[in-house]
Amino acid sequence: MKAVKTHAMRICRHLPVLAAILICALAAASTAAGQSEDETKRAESCVPVDLATVENSDMEKIVRSVGNVEAAQSVVVYPEIGGVIESVNFEEGEPVEKGKLIFAIDSDKIRARLRAQKAALEEARANLENARLVYQRRQRLYEKDLGTEEARDQARTTYQALSAQVKRIKAEIENINETLKDTRIRAPFDGIMDEQLVDAGQLVNTETALSSIVETDRLKIAFTVPERYMGMVEKGQEIRVTTPAYPEKTFSGNVYFISPQISKTTRSLLVKARLDNPEGVLRPGGFVSVELIVDILENVPVIPEEALVPTRSGYMVFTVKNSHAKQQNVEIGLRRPGTVEIKKGLEQGETIVRAGHISLYQGARVCPE
């Protein structure tokens, strides 16, 4: 009995030590289990990303500028003769065709002159015919030695003078007819009538502006490009034009004029292009944004611009292979809104990360969103 009691007392003395050992063992086992579980979760987890594919596409090399819209033709209408405006035959802002009567100047006095000259012509022709007969008769008498040379010459002189008079009156009638035409002012080309500057009944002279006519179906776009692009600009190149008033519309035209000299003040080159404007959306005098396409790079690798990750030395992207991310340095070329050319580092068909770079690292497992 005494021996049993002694053994029990020994166990009690060592109990705190055993308890500590047991607690430490349990803690170590728990820590190992937690680490193993975290490593397992990390190995099984993936970073959600948005993927894209490297594609080959054409890229346009563009020079941007601001241009001024000019009418293909625009003239101020002046009368060729003075007089009183008889009628105005258009509405402001009205489209007119070439040859349409737009102003008429009172022509009563001119027509009266014309009638008088026509009557004078009839009289002169009658006198001429009589002089011709006299001359012919005296010529026959002279040939038969029945008339004098002086009488014949006098008849010939009278005939020649009346013949010149007829020619002069005819010329005056032609001149009056031309003046009569000038009283009718017609549209010189198809266009849109501008503001009416005179009213019927107003006295005008050859320096009085009557109105303006503008051709808007075809327009000119005048813009400048920096001197450094001088060697890239050629006739026939395409331009694209947009205006804040119609942001959803794009207009296209082609270069037809390149200035032969560089501006000394702006160090820029003046360029002009023609474009069609059948709906009359663009108006002469307005400003537009111009994109001049100076070159087209064909079939080059391109990626979404958002896939680029800036670095100290340039740019990189994350490529994806076997569901794992890999950092890849790239050399970029042309950039367009939403798209960038890759000159070096990627090839067509490779899979890259478009979005989701924040949580990515080298070798990370990725999963598409």
Same domain, 222 and 283: yes
Same domain, 233 and 261: yes
Angle between helices 149-182 and 108-143 (to 10 degrees): 160
**Percentage above 90 pLDDT, the chain:** 69
- Within a domain: 4: no
Same domain, 309 and 203: no
Q: Give CA–CA dist 358/347, Å, rounded.
A: 24
DSSP letter assigned to residue 286 = -
Beta bridge partners of 321: 324
φ, ψ dihedrals at 89, nearest 5°: -115, 40
Dihedral sign computed on CA atoms, order 109, 110, 112, 116 = positive
* Residue whose entry in the numeric block shows the structure tokens 């947009």: 242
SS3 call for 174: helix
- Within a domain: 38: no
Please give the pLDDT value at position 44: 54
- Can you give the CATH number for the domain in which 227 is found? 2.40.30.170
The whole-chain average pLDDT of the chain stands at 87
Same domain, 282 and 259: yes
Are 345 and 331 contacting, i.e. CB atoms less than 8 angstroms apart? yes
Same domain, 97 and 152: no
Domain boundary among 281, 296, 311: 296
What is the pLDDT averaged over residues 19-44?
Answer: 45
Over 70: is that where the pLDDT of 25 sits?
Answer: no
Tell me which residue of 307, 309, 303, 331 sits closest to 59, measured CA to CA.
303
Q: Give CA–CA dist 176/171, Å, rounded.
A: 9
- Within a domain: 16: no
Please report which confidence band the pLDDT of residue 39 belongs to, taking 50, 70 and 90 as the band edges.
Answer: very low
The domain total for the chain is: 4
DSSP letter assigned to residue 227 = G
Same domain, 292 and 318: no
- Within a domain: 303: yes
Over 90: is that where the pLDDT of 357 sits?
Answer: no
Are 81 and 183 contacting, i.e. CB atoms less than 8 angstroms apart? yes
- Can you give the CATH number for the domain in which 116 is found? 1.10.287
- Within a domain: 22: no
Return all residues near 46 (Cβ < 8 A) that are at least 6 apart: 323, 364, 365, 366, 367
Are 359 and 318 contacting, i.e. CB atoms less than 8 angstroms apart? no
Same domain, 150 and 269: no
Amino acid letter for position 237:
Q
- Within a domain: 5: no
Q: How many CB atoms lie within 10 A of CB 212?
A: 17
pTM of the model: 0.65
Over 80: is that where the pLDDT of 15 sits?
Answer: no
Element (H, E) at 27: helix 2-44
Ramachandran area for residue 57 (φ above 0: left; ψ -120 to 50: alpha; else beta): beta
Please give the pLDDT value at position 45: 83
Over 90: is that where the pLDDT of 31 sits?
Answer: no
Over 60: is that where the pLDDT of 35 sits?
Answer: no
> Could you give the maximum distance between any two Cα atoms of the chain, in Å?
203
Please give the pLDDT value at position 297: 86
Same domain, 353 and 326: yes
Please report which confidence band the pLDDT of residue 14 belongs to, taking 50, 70 and 90 as the band edges.
Answer: very low
Same domain, 291 and 302: no
Same domain, 222 and 136: no
Q: Give CA–CA dist 174/44, Å, rounded.
A: 103
- Within a domain: 39: no
Same domain, 143 and 200: no
Burial of residue 85 (CB within 10 Å: 0-12, 13-18, 19+) is: buried
Pairing mode of beta strands 47-53, 351-355: antiparallel
What's the pLDDT tens digit per position in 228-243? 999 999 999 999 999 9
Q: Which domain holds residue 328?
A: 47-59+298-368
Q: Give CA–CA dist 357/49, Å, rounded.
A: 8
Same domain, 102 and 187: yes
- Within a domain: 34: no
What's the pLDDT tens digit per position in 200-219? 999 999 999 999 999 989 99
String of b and e for 12-24 (b: at least 16 CB within 10 Å)?
Answer: eeeeeeeeeeeee
